Amino acid sequence: EPEVTQTPSHQVTQMGQEVILRCVPISNHLYFYWYRQILGQKVEFLVSFYNNEISEKSEIFDDQFSVERPDGSNFTLKIRSTKLEDSAMYFCASTRFGNEAFFGQGTRLTVV
């Protein structure tokens, strides 16, 4: 069964460093998303991406964040200068028609 794949599963980084979280969505899907879940809190929407551009983003998704689909298969989330409060589980998701989202296993980001 096709699945969304995220790498790495766990990333530790120093405050102020740049990190790139990688995702391989399901191959025939057209819409891509990033969500995050701070420990003990709700899963929160960050950004959606369609037709090679951001279609929607939340207040959380500020100038420190960016997304890219560099090669037609990967979908990346970059955080330019990480802060302690960026520590969270980051989930990538994809859908074919913008409805039923399939989620990856998540990347746990720890900023120290």
State the residues that interact with other proteins by CB under 8 A.
4, 6, 31, 33, 35, 41-45, 48, 50-51, 55-56, 58, 91, 93, 95, 97-106
The two tokens of residue 79 are 């955080």
Q: Which is nearer to other proteins, 24 or 101 (CB)?
A: 101
Q: Which residues contact 99 (CB under 8 A, 6 or more apart)?
A: none
Considering the complex, what minimum distance in angstroms separates the CB of residue 52 from other proteins?
A: 12
Closest CA to 19 of 70, 65, 52: 65
Distance CA 32, CA 110 (A): 23
Considering the complex, what minimum distance in angstroms separates the CB of residue 42 from other proteins?
A: 5
Considering the complex, what minimum distance in angstroms separates the CB of residue 16 from other proteins?
A: 28
Q: Which is nearer to other proteins, 50 or 66 (CB)?
A: 50
